[in-house]
Amino acid sequence: MTPSLPLMLADLETLVTCESPSSDLAAVANSADVVARLGAERLGSKPSYEVVDGRTHLRWKFGDGPSRVLVLGHHDTVWPLGSLATHPFVVADGVMRGPGCFDMKTGLVMAFHALSALPSLDGVTLLVTGDEELGSPSSRSLIEAEAAGCDAALVLEASADEGALKLERKGVSNYEIRIVGRAAHAGLEPELGVNASIEAAHQILAIAALGDLLLGTTVTPTALTSGTTRNTVPASGNFLVDVRARTVEEQLRVDAALHALQPVLPEATLEIIGGPNRPPLERKMSEALYQRAGELASSLGLPPLRETSVGGGSDGNFTAGVGTPTLDGLGAVGGGAHADDEHVVVAEILPRTSLLTALIADLLDRP
């Protein structure tokens, strides 16, 4: 079936008007039902439900043999229930708006219509997860299992600026640093205390110094809590650390350094919790797919493709992490992800869908 823009916009209204905040298990389950029904209409088959830790994911597997192409997306969003009241679904002046339209419900509709245009789907798996915005805690193992051994993973996350595909995503690591000191009266005998705030200050400075801007490694202390009252030496504190790295080597270097931290103040103790959450999507995992996509775009009469590197993670990090060539950012063109001005450029929906169709067909045609 040739993709039809009016039908795609109708499908988008169906998905966008079904709110699906990641933190609400019931809302995500309801959204999964809506996605499953719509996908069944477009693809002619029902998905299997994969419910992990109460979170609902969907999988369409076509053919009896091993999967060769994994098409990957998510149906959860960051928008809380009730967001439609202030951010309604609307299409006006060539722009579509609504919660989650850009990140990434347009990508899901594109996937359905691109796959429905192919004569055969043997060798394709479409996986739609329900917790990507949380870091994919329950779907990671499912994603990695489906990606392992595939020729390619195509990620329908929204594009970067001006439609650029994402050839490189930094790996993400998350940490919590817990500090235990000793309380004392701040006015009468502060010398008897072990000040968790001072220990935190020492550690924050040391941790921030682990970054390497030349290599693109950022190590950022973020949320900080310490102490109880103004006149008490803080007995405990904690802070969070966000780490982004372009290579596995850098991600592991910072991880080792964080876990090797030692307290500065006598009698203070440290506990380091956390580690890598998403491996990097390195450029070498995307370049060949990007070059082929560029050739296909040219053959379709589309403008030359653009590419970029981004700091944010996606499920494409996981597919690349198991050694599967991965191309990310194949979804909507627009902007404002997670923000009040989230929007999609309507005129780009069909061309992007045509490119996706051609890329899947090309991958399936290869021996």
Query: Do residues 144 and 182 share a domain?
Result: no
Instruction: Write the pLDDT tens digit of every residue in 115-137.
Output: 999 999 999 999 999 999 999 99
Per-residue pLDDT band for 95 (boundaries 50, 70, 90) equals very high
Largest CA distance in the chain: 81
User: Domain boundary residue among 218, 247, 278?
Assistant: 278
- CB-facing half-sphere around the CA of 67: CA atoms within 13 A: 25
| pLDDT, averaged across the chain | 97
Q: What is the pLDDT of residue 366?
A: 85
Query: Do residues 41 and 175 share a domain?
Result: no
User: Domain boundary residue among 254, 278, 302?
Assistant: 278
pTM of the predicted model, to two decimals? 0.90
Query: Do residues 10 and 148 share a domain?
Result: yes
Give the residues across from 342 on adjacent strands.
none
List active site positions: 76, 132
Q: What is the pLDDT of residue 123?
A: 97
Q: What is the pLDDT of residue 367?
A: 78
The number of folded domains in the chain is 2
Tokens standing for 187?
């006015």
Give the residues across from 242 on adjacent strands.
174, 220
Query: Do residues 17 and 129 share a domain?
Result: yes
Q: Show the beta-strand stretches assigned E in 114-190.
A: 124-129, 152-155, 165-169, 171-180
Query: Do residues 224 and 212 share a domain?
Result: yes
Q: What is the pLDDT of residue 2?
A: 81
Query: Do residues 176 and 164 share a domain?
Result: no
Query: Do residues 121 and 21 share a domain?
Result: yes
Query: Do residues 262 and 342 share a domain?
Result: no
Per-residue pLDDT band for 106 (boundaries 50, 70, 90) equals very high
Give me the percent of the chain exceeding a pLDDT of 90.
97
Q: What is the pLDDT of residue 10?
A: 98
Instruction: Write the pLDDT tens digit of every residue in 316-348.
Output: 999 999 999 999 999 999 999 999 999 999 999
Residue 313 pLDDT exceeds 80: yes
Q: What is the pLDDT of residue 22?
A: 97
User: Domain boundary residue among 225, 257, 278?
Assistant: 278
Residue 53 pLDDT exceeds 80: yes
Query: Do residues 186 and 330 share a domain?
Result: no
Q: What is the pLDDT of residue 214?
A: 96
Give dist(CA 243, CA 318) in Å, integer: 17
Query: Do residues 20 and 148 share a domain?
Result: yes
Q: What is the mean pLDDT of residues 46-75?
A: 97
Instruction: Write the pLDDT tens digit of every residue in 203-246.
Output: 999 999 999 999 999 999 999 999 999 999 999 999 999 999 99
Which CATH number characterizes residue 22's domain? 3.40.630.10
Which CATH number characterizes residue 180's domain? 3.30.70.360
Q: Show the beta-strand stretches assigned E in 117-262.
A: 124-129, 152-155, 165-169, 171-180, 218-226, 236-245
Expressed as residue numbers, the domain containing 126 is: 5-169+280-365
Query: Do residues 59 and 92 share a domain?
Result: yes
